Structure 1
Amino acid sequence: MEKGRTVVVSALQFACTDDVSTNVATAERLVRAAHKQGANIILIQELFEGYYFCQAQREEFIQRAKPHKDHPTILRMQKLAKELGVVIPVSFFEEANNAHYNSTAIIDADGTDLGIYRKSHIPDGPGYEEKFYFNPGDTGFKVFQTKFAKVGVAICWDQWFPEAARAMVLQGAEILFYPTAIGSEPHDGSIDSRDHWKRVMQGHAGANLVPLVASNRIGKEMIETEHGKSEITFYGNSFIAGNFCELFSFQHRSTPYSFDQCGKTLHLKDDIRFPHSSQP
């Protein structure tokens, strides 16, 4: 990318229902709204097609996985990206080679599917029982050359590991994107990791001197489990951090509406890149 070139990024957040068509329609409506405000790259939250089903271990939820090829939501977002001329990372539950992954497809501004990243770090704890559903990703950390910038995409739990951000930046990532689903802990209401989460992510931006965009869902979701019910209130707080750890833009824990967005014009530079000079 040329020095001083700008790109407008937007992070969406909304409360999901358990109806795929409703959630995809909401995502499309918000993408269109962000585009009207000038956004070039628009990040939708993790697994936005439905409730965060990983609160419980239920076999029927595994049936929600679909192959990357001809995935209906990805195809719809490809059409939308081409129409609007925007880049859209699309989170989805993937079935591939008798395995299942928490994946993100990167859709370029001409509608081209640039490929996928599969989530590497899989959490396993009360309310976040992802190892029941997802295999560890086998793609490695990757970067994608889009129309507007070279981007790196990791997913939710990956954000707690600094190696993920550094690996992408060492491959030339100019902006990092993290679709996310993080909220309260069903087993202990006194735990609130919101501020810790944000500070860790801001640290990734500052340590690697690149902007970072995080999109998280909002709302309260309840899932039936084998022991009764599990409930998570998602933090929202989607945000954009600058390459000196500054918090450019963020949304609150909840809003008067079922959705919201934040956006920021980033001025990308390649004249300060000390991570590329690091030693093994």
Structure 2
Amino acid sequence: MMTQSERQVAIAVVQAALNADVAANVAKITDLVIKAAEQGAQIILPPELFEGPYFCREERDTFFDWARSVENHPTILHFQALAQKLNIVIPISFFERAGQAYYNSLAMVDADGSLLGVYRKSHIPDGPGYEEKFYFRPGNTGFKVWSTAFCQLGVGICWDQWFPECARAMMLMGADLLLYPTAIGTEPLEPDLFTKDPWQRAMIGHAVSNVVPVAAANRIGVEGNQTFYGHSFIANHRGDVVAELGDREEGIILARFNLDQIRRNRASFGFFRDRRPDLYDILTTADGRASV
């Protein structure tokens, strides 16, 4: 039975095609964020590195010029003002320069416009079309869960979404929702390898095994020799996909959740009650082998 004190939250995901025009990209994401807020969204998730094209498709040192410090970052400041105006929470993905280090980072903006902190992507991929190790150091912030105006938010970035340890860590830190801004599409050297289904299944698995809603925001469109396949989605705590965009749709999707009911469901499933941390040392060994 639901009471008036039950915690309710509305989350939206933004999907768009992006190009080399930063101002145009920011304006497009802004318009979609406003539309989502008009529909009642309280937490709005844009895609990974939405200021420009996914430059990690190739290794070019000129792209380091795109990195900015979190301090006085114009895009972050813009969305801080927008968040305060609309009373919404927005995780902002950006290319961060910190001294001589570069990170794939996310700034968490709360509903009053305040910057709650920065998460630096923990898992950095390296392969054809996804040359991120050329640009980014592995994150040094550890996983993050933020206490926002509406709930506790855990956010991983793209490649993080494939790792169950990341999702479980954020749940143990108290997350009510798991969010994943993403840039994923075709594999340049393996055109017959279509990863959309396993990409979604990996995150849906996090939803089921942690009894938590999960949302992912991807981009669409052709960039160089890659096609970003969209299919941004929101799954509920049972792993049911309750909202999804297609492979060419720009727009938003929205879902509403009763967080207190989900918390009760999580407790009743017993996944966290029946954990055996005393058996999990192997998860932290470098080679994944138990000591004899």
Give the shorter-chain TM-score range. over 0.9
Corresponding position of 2:153: 151
Q: Distance in 2 between matches of 1:178 and 1:262?
A: 14
Corresponding position of 1:228: none
Instruction: Report the number of matched residues.
Output: 268
Answer 1 or 2: higher relative contact order, Cα 8 Å, separation at least 6: 1
**Pairing of 1:1-280 with structure 2 (within 5 A):** 4-222=6-224, 231-255=225-249, 259-269=250-260, 270-271=263-264, 272-273=266-267, 274-277=270-273, 278-280=275-277
Q: Distance in 2 between matches of 1:3 and 1:134?
A: 43
TM-score by length of 2: 0.90
Which structure features the higher share of strand residues?
1
Q: Distance in 2 between matches of 1:70 and 1:164?
A: 29
Q: Distance in 1 between matches of 2:69 and 2:59?
A: 21
Query: Aligned AA for 2:140?
Result: D
Q: CA RMSD in A?
A: 1.1
Contact 1:94/1:103 (CA < 8 Å) preserved in 2?
yes
C-alpha displacement at 1:187, in angstroms?
A: 1.1
TM-score by length of 1: 0.94
Give identity over the alignment, percent: 51
Q: Distance in 1 between matches of 2:205 and 2:216?
A: 13
Q: Distance in 1 between matches of 2:196 and 2:6?
A: 33
Which structure features the higher share of helix residues?
2
Contact 1:170/1:275 (CA < 8 Å) preserved in 2?
no
Contact 1:127/1:232 (CA < 8 Å) preserved in 2?
yes
Q: Distance in 2 between matches of 1:117 and 1:68?
A: 11
Give 3-state SS (helix, strand or coil) of 2:204's partner: helix
C-alpha displacement at 1:267, in angstroms?
A: 1.2
Q: Distance in 2 between matches of 1:129 and 1:279?
A: 37
Q: Distance in 2 between matches of 1:165 and 1:68?
A: 25
Q: Distance in 1 between matches of 2:18 and 2:271?
A: 38
Q: Distance in 2 between matches of 1:131 and 1:92?
A: 16
Q: Distance in 1 between matches of 2:5 and 2:194?
A: 40
C-alpha displacement at 1:208, in angstroms?
A: 0.5
Query: Aligned AA for 1:146?
Result: T
C-alpha displacement at 1:188, in angstroms?
A: 1.5
Runs of 4+ in 1 over 3 A off after TM superposition: 273-276
Q: Distance in 2 between matches of 1:100 and 1:209?
A: 34
C-alpha displacement at 1:4, in angstroms?
A: 3.0
**Superimposed CA distance per residue, residues 181-235 of structure 1 (whole angstroms, 9 cap, x where no aligned partner):** 000001121010001100111000110011011000001111xxxxxxxx11001
C-alpha displacement at 1:275, in angstroms?
A: 4.3
Q: Distance in 2 between matches of 1:3 and 1:104?
A: 31
C-alpha displacement at 1:3, in angstroms?
A: 6.8
Q: Distance in 2 between matches of 1:244 and 1:4?
A: 19
